[in-house]
């Protein structure tokens, strides 16, 4: 029996909405029986933290509870810190897969770059741990995660059943519609769609200015092979993500520019 | 005269070490006469902030002074926030180029992903502003920026004299040697080299555990076309960087995996 338990794949789960967010509980629920799940997630919301790590301050770990029978920890750092600490100090080995989410809100297109959810997944893939970030297109804390859970389970099951590229990292977004209305899964590229910023300028009670980040989301990319297109057509979008940021086309073009 | 001033290129300068770091002053000095320089930089060190943005809190701007005759602001947010606020509320237009740095410490290889310096540059390129991040391979606040200044000026001059790709983003690292020992500039790819984490576990005066992020830098990439190779051979490394994180090779491979 003990031996059998050891053979179960280790599934590390984190997120950026914090250990108490309904989305992470939904993800644990969805994949709980596919392996040994260990949760290490931020102790507070960390949305928009991108690939931030904690330098100059130490980190804390606290016992937490996401579900019965699931080892869970909260961490005082960022989502990327959570992955690093989990591997080095909690699991003391690389998990078989790292899952992040389910995020409350979309992480398609350019959002992948600002997203704590996706940065945790990218960090895992840097560490040679196959990873998937899941995001539901619904910011609400009361969102219905049924469709997201169904597809998260299906994708994780598929990945655990095959040999993956060790740097595999998937950005999965799920449309906020009833599971029965989802048309399936599409493997896509990241759309060039972004926020057009417009800071809201206000004055505090002392008459001093401050600024709130706001902005409208604009899609500049009409391709039918993008995540934005897939989601608008009720598909689950899957974008394989890489951490080599080299622009090889420009590298060739610029070869002799600075000599 | 007023007209002539208007025709000068606008150069936005930011960093992640904060507005008072010697590195940003060195960068301003190096390019001051190439255009109208405006500085908008964090009011405190923001190393390792990656592509974090401030959500849930408003931002502040304060008048600052980096050099005489150079409009300078400090911002309470991250390097990426600085770029967004500068464009929307200070310049009220896109600058002709955005420069970030000069960072105290390297940002080659995987560091590009954790670096506030490079995230500010990447943010600019998302906004269709050509950008360059500069980093010197010396963490010291008393570092000698002479070589870095020479090459920064040369690269900026070259870029301002030609039509650049609007999403151009360069990650420039400068070896920490005397300017006379630098062999020139090499356009490179990002090496697969990263930190092997090892958290330092300690106990606070109350007997509770906390963890310091430490680790050794390991280069897994023996390619002679990488930034790590170039720097080890006393070249200035220039890696063109992109914000489309799609792994197109994996996209093809996975096309029929989830159907």
pLDDT at B130: 98
Task: Tell me if A202 and B155 make a contact (CB, 8 A cut-off).
Answer: no
CA B256, chain centre distance (Å): 39
pLDDT at A6: 54
Asked if the structure places residue B98 within a domain, the reply is: yes
CA distance A25 to A134: 13
Burial degree of B58 (CB within 10 A; 0-12, 13-18, 19+): middle
Alpha-carbon radius of gyration of chain A: 19
Q: In which region does residue A27 sit, left (phi positive, over 0), alpha (psi from -120 to 50) or beta (all else)?
A: alpha
Task: Tell me if B47 and A60 make a contact (CB, 8 A cut-off).
Answer: no
Residue in chain A lying closest to B89 (CA): A199
pTM, rounded to two decimals: 0.95
Asked if the structure places residue B207 within a domain, the reply is: no
pLDDT at B208: 95
State the nearest Cα–Cα gap between A142 and chain B, in angstroms: 19
Q: Is the pLDDT of residue B105 over 70?
A: yes
Burial degree of A33 (CB within 10 A; 0-12, 13-18, 19+): exposed
Which residues of B are less than 8 Å from A251 in CB distance? 187-189, 239-240
**Which of B:171-210 have CB within 8 Å of A?**
171, 184-185, 187-190, 192, 194, 197-199, 201-202, 208-210
Domain holding A9, by residue range, is 2-190+223-254
Which residues of B are less than 8 Å from A53 in CB distance? 48, 50, 114, 213
Taking residues B57-65, report their average pLDDT.
96
Q: Which of B59, B240, B251 sits opposite A240 (nearest CB)?
A: B251
Positions of chain A with pLDDT under 50: 1-5
pLDDT at A230: 98
Which residues of A are less than 8 Å from B259 in CB distance? 184-185
How is residue A230 written in tokens? 């897939």
Cα–Cα distances (Å) from A164 to A123, A128, A158, A167, A170, in that order, read 16, 10, 10, 8, 11
User: Is the minimum CB–CB distance between A93 and chain B shorter than 8 Å?
Assistant: no
pLDDT at B198: 86
User: Is the minimum CB–CB distance between A161 and chain B shorter than 8 Å?
Assistant: no
Asked if the structure places residue B195 within a domain, the reply is: no
Task: Tell me if B248 and A189 make a contact (CB, 8 A cut-off).
Answer: yes
User: Is the minimum CB–CB distance between A228 and chain B shorter than 8 Å?
Assistant: no
State the nearest Cα–Cα gap between A55 and chain B, in angstroms: 7
pLDDT at A1: 40
Which residues of A are less than 8 Å from B197 in CB distance? 84, 87-88
High-pLDDT (> 90) share of chain B, %:
92
ipTM: 0.94
What are the two backbone dihedrals, phi and then psi, of residue A100, each rounded to the nearest 5 degrees? -130, 135
Asked if the structure places residue A227 within a domain, the reply is: yes
Asked if the structure places residue B63 within a domain, the reply is: yes
pLDDT tens for residues B3-60?
A: 444 589 999 999 999 999 999 999 999 999 999 999 999 999 998 999 999 998 999 9
pLDDT at B6: 54
Which residues of B are less than 8 Å from A238 in CB distance? 254, 258
Q: In what order do the strands lie in the sheet with B36-42?
A: B61-64, B71-75, B36-42, B10-14, B97-104, B131-136, B169-174, B236-240, B185-187
User: Is the minimum CB–CB distance between B46 and chain A shorter than 8 Å?
Assistant: no
Please measure the distance between the N-terminal and C-terminal CA atoms of chain B and give it in whole angstroms.
65
CA distance B38 to A48: 26
**Which of B:10-39 have CB within 8 Å of A?**
none
Task: Tell me if B239 and A254 make a contact (CB, 8 A cut-off).
Answer: no
Secondary structure E strands in A137-208: 169-174, 185-187, 193-197, 200-203
Asked if the structure places residue B201 within a domain, the reply is: no
Three-class SS of residue A240? Answer: strand
Q: Are A112 and A118 in contact (CB under 8 A)?
A: yes
Q: Is the pLDDT of residue B186 over 60?
A: yes
Cα–Cα distances (Å) from B70 to B19, B37, B106, B204, in that order, read 13, 6, 27, 45
Taking residues B68-94, report their average pLDDT.
96
Measured over all CA atoms, what is the biggest interatomic distance in chain A, rounded to whole angstroms? 68
pLDDT tens for residues B204-259?
A: 999 999 999 998 999 999 999 999 999 999 999 999 999 999 999 999 999 999 98
User: Is the minimum CB–CB distance between B217 and chain A shorter than 8 Å?
Assistant: no
Asked if the structure places residue B259 within a domain, the reply is: no
Query: Which residues fall within 8 angstroms of residue B200, CB to CB, at 6 or more apart?
Result: B211, B212, B214
Identify any residues that bridge with B131 across adjacent strands, giving them in sequence order: B98, B169
User: Is the minimum CB–CB distance between A51 and chain B shorter than 8 Å?
Assistant: yes
pLDDT at B7: 83
Task: Tell me if B201 and A89 make a contact (CB, 8 A cut-off).
Answer: yes
Taking residues B99-116, report their average pLDDT.
96
What are the two backbone dihedrals, phi and then psi, of residue A177, each rounded to the nearest 5 degrees? -130, 170
pLDDT at A112: 96
Q: Which of A113, A240, A251 sits opposite B243 (nearest CB)?
A: A113
The number of folded domains in chain A is: 1
Taking residues B76-80, report their average pLDDT.
97
Asked if the structure places residue B210 within a domain, the reply is: no
State the nearest Cα–Cα gap between A248 and chain B, in angstroms: 7
pLDDT tens for residues B133-184?
A: 999 999 999 999 999 999 999 999 999 999 989 999 999 999 999 999 999 9
Q: The CATH number of the domain where A42 resides is what?
A: 3.40.1210.10
Secondary structure E strands in chain A: 10-14, 36-42, 61-64, 71-75, 97-104, 131-136, 169-174, 185-187, 193-197, 200-203, 209-212, 215-219, 236-240
CA distance A86 to A49: 18
CA distance A148 to A131: 16
CB atoms within 10 A of CB A94: 17
Query: Which residues fall within 8 angstroms of residue A207, CB to CB, at 6 or more apart?
Result: none
Task: Tell me if B246 and A244 make a contact (CB, 8 A cut-off).
Answer: no
């Amino acid at each position: 029996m003990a031996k059998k338990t050891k053979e179960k794949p280790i599934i590390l789960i984190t997120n950026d909405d914090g250990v108490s967010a309904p989305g992470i509980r939904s993800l644990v629920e969805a994949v709980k029986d596919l392996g040994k799940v260990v949760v290490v997630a931020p102790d507070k919301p960390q949305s928009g933290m991108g690939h931030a790590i904690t330098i100059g301050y130490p980190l804390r770990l606290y016992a937490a509870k996401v579900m019965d029978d699931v080892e869970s920890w909260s961490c005082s750092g960022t989502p990327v810190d959570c992955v690093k600490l989990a591997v080095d100090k909690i699991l003391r080995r690389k998990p078989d897969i790292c899952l992040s989410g389910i995020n409350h809100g979309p992480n398609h297109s350019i959002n992948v770059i600002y997203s704590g959810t996706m940065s945790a997944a990218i960090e895992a893939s840097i560490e040679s741990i196959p990873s998937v970030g899941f995001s539901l297109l619904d910011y609400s804390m009361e969102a219905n995660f049924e469709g997201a859970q169904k597809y998260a389970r299906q994708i994780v099951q598929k990945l655990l059943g095959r040999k993956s590229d060790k740097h595999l990292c998937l950005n999965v977004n799920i449309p906020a519609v009833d599971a029965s209305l989802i048309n399936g899964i599409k493997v896509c590229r990241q759309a060039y769609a972004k926020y057009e910023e417009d800071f809201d300028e206000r004055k505090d009670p002392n008459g001093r200015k401050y600024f709130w980040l706001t902005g409208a989301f604009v899609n500049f990319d009409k391709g039918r092979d993008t995540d934005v297109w897939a989601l608008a057509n009720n598909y689950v979008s899957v974008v394989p993500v890489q951490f080599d940021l080299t622009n090889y086309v420009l590298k060739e073009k610029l070869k002799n520019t600075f000599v």
